[in-house]
Every structure is written in C-alpha cells, then in structure tokens.
A = this chain, B = another copy of it.
Amino acid sequence: MTITPTRWTLADGRELLFFDLPGHRCAPVTDRRQLPAQRDAQSELRFDRISGEWVIIAALRQDRTYKPPAAQCPLCPGATGLTSEIPAPDYDVAVFENRFASLAGADGHKFLLPADPGPGFVCEPSHGRCEVVCFSADHTGSFADLDSRHARLVVEVWRHRTRDLLSRNGIEQVFCFENRGEEIGVTLTHPHGQIYGYPYVTPHAEATLRRARAHRASHDTNLFSDILEHELSSGARIIARTDAFTAFVPFAARWPVEVHIFPDRPARNLLDFDDAELDEFTELYQMVLQRLDRLYDEPLPYMAALHQYTDTESQCEGRFHAQVISTRRSATRLKYLASSESIMGAFINDVTPESLAQTLREV
C-alpha cells in the first residue's frame, strides 16, 4: 500500500495532510480564520535531576480548546473555511499539527538534547512535533466502528507519519496514541488520535530498553519474544490470535483494563510490517476495542498506544507492540492514580489479569 497525502496549509502556517480512501478525493478550501501566528519553542524541556527525566513545561496549553459544543467541533469538516481545523467539505483521514503543541519545531534544523545534562538546572527550548489524527469526518463514530478499509487507512497513516517523523532531525521516538473519554480528560469527543515526535527517548522506553538489553546479556534472547512465549504457553491471559499477532492481558497488568498486542515475529515499528500483516493487525486491534466497548453499558474510556522503536543500536532490543489501558475498574468506579502510584510508582491493581482475560474472551 503506497499512500500520498494531499498537503495543505492552515491560516497560521501549520501543516494539514489529507489521506483518501480509494476512489475518494479530498477538496480542501482556504482556511479563512484569523489565527495568531504560531511561534516555535513556546514550551521548554526541563531536566528533573531526581528522576533523570525530561519534563515538558508547556504553559501555552492552559488555553487550549475545552469541550466545545458539537456544532463548534474543530475536527468536523468545515466547508466554509471559517469553523474548523480541517477546511474541507469532507475528508477520510486528516492529520494536522496541533495548535496547542507541547512540542514543536522539528522542521529540519539540528537539535540534540544533552545525554547527561550535568549539575545545575538545565532547560532547553521545546523541540519535536505534536500532530492530531482525525480518524473520520463522522463526529459520533469511534475507531472500533470504522469499516475495515477505513481503519486500515488509519493504520497506514500511522505508518506514513512514523516514517516521516523518524526522518526528521532530533526526533528520537514516534508515539501514535488515542486518548478517549471524558473520564481521562479528553476535551474533544470527535474520534481522533494524536502523534508525538519526542526529542528524547521517553522514560518508559528507556527503562524497557535497559531491561531488554540486560535480558539479552543474561539469556541471549529477546525479552519481548520470551514474554510472548510464556504467555502462549500459559494461555490463561490470551484473548485472541491471528496468524501474526496475539492479544493478551499481561501477567503483571497495572491497570484494571490492560491489553497488549504483540507480533509473533520481531518488528520494531510499523515500517517493519508488510501490508498483509497490517491488515491482520488492524483486524485484531479493532476486535479488541470492540470487546472493550462491550464490557460495560457505556463505551470504555481508554488510552491506546503503539510502542515503537528505531533501528538504531541502542533501541535494537525494542519490539513493536500495541497497548490499550483503561482506568474503569467497574461499571460505576474508576481507578485513580493516587499517592502510591503517582508519587512512589508502586501500582496496585484491583482486578486479576486472568479474570479480565476470561471476560474479554467471552464478551
């Protein structure tokens, strides 16, 4: 599958890309809104010396769009060029630079964060890229409900954006994700995801790679392959399989709802899969999301994400996988990250992974 987007520019200079289903053709119009010019480096990266991690300080985001009424949805198509981030009478999948970006400026100039910032307080201008991916023009839909061709197009868009962003200077990690549901703070209900191009390897990925390198040194196998093998041989937490992918609840799940999708063969990111594999991935991913929505009477609030690594030596033990989590621990209750989790990083899960897996096999 090759895919060539139509490139457009918004009133304040941000980039907008349209990805069409076969036989369709987007017809964008001029963005006629009065928008203040975007400034790069409005946010900053500060090094937290206690954790050894970068923190993004993005004060400008305080003013971001907050739960607009459906008639003013900035992600619905806007044929007049006056109402929407997507000035067009219709679209299939659209991607644009986030107007309230935590990270910006990955436009080709050289950028390298210091690996060990040394003593004192270290602060760098923001760098990176934040994109919004509108899954469909239908305001009330969801990823799970997209017809399979349309869902496959979104996966192809993730592949396209991963390739593009990884080729830019100073982007170390590309993170495609979807936050869904008011319960986890989502302020726009129109079905959409986001993509972050981080200027550093995120804390989770750093820790994972450290573990995976140590595993290779001790056992001469890949950590992720080993985990999948153990999950398959146990079977108690497997939800579903295709020829190339397995969906399961991890043995030590931290969240009351948590599902991982691992490929059977080694792959670091979406660029490593062929078209047939991505067809299968799309099918399994939608199936998982559909089952999650059947857990309760209401659609499940969730965070869904693709873990991707690069082909560099430091990331060579990383493996592509998808992860979906939810804070809903029962029909009426949510799991909150309180002091044990938020301050000490010590997670307490009230749901056993085996019981969740059984429920998800049956719904």
Contact = CB atoms under 8 A, between A and B. Distances in A.
Contact of A348 (B102, B345, B347): B102
A250 B48 contact: yes
A96 to B, nearest CB: 18
A177 interface: yes
Nearest to A193: B339
Interface stretch (A14-22, A106-114, A219-227, A281-289): A219-227
A47 B250 CA distance: 11
Nearest to A255: B342
A51 interface: yes
A56 interface: yes
A101 to B, nearest CB: 10
A337 B337 contact: yes
Interface residues of A, number: 80
A303 interface: yes
Contact of A333 (B48, B66, B224, B349): B66
Interface stretch (A131-139, A144-152, A199-207, A269-277): A199-207
Contacts of A296: none
B254 A55 contact: yes
Contacts of A143: none
A120 B325 CA distance: 23
A226 to B, nearest CB: 6
Interface of A: 46-59, 61-62, 66, 102, 119-121, 175, 177-179, 184-186, 194, 196, 198, 202-205, 207-208, 210-211, 215, 219, 223-224, 226-227, 230, 234, 250-254, 303-305, 323, 325, 329-330, 333-340, 342-353, 355
26 contacts: A48-B254, A49-B215, A50-B223, A51-B211, A52-B207, A52-B211, A55-B252, A55-B254, A55-B347, A55-B349, A56-B348, A57-B253, A57-B349, A57-B353, A58-B349, A61-B350, A66-B333, A177-B343, A179-B338, A186-B338, A198-B344, A203-B344, A205-B344, A303-B343, A325-B342, A325-B343
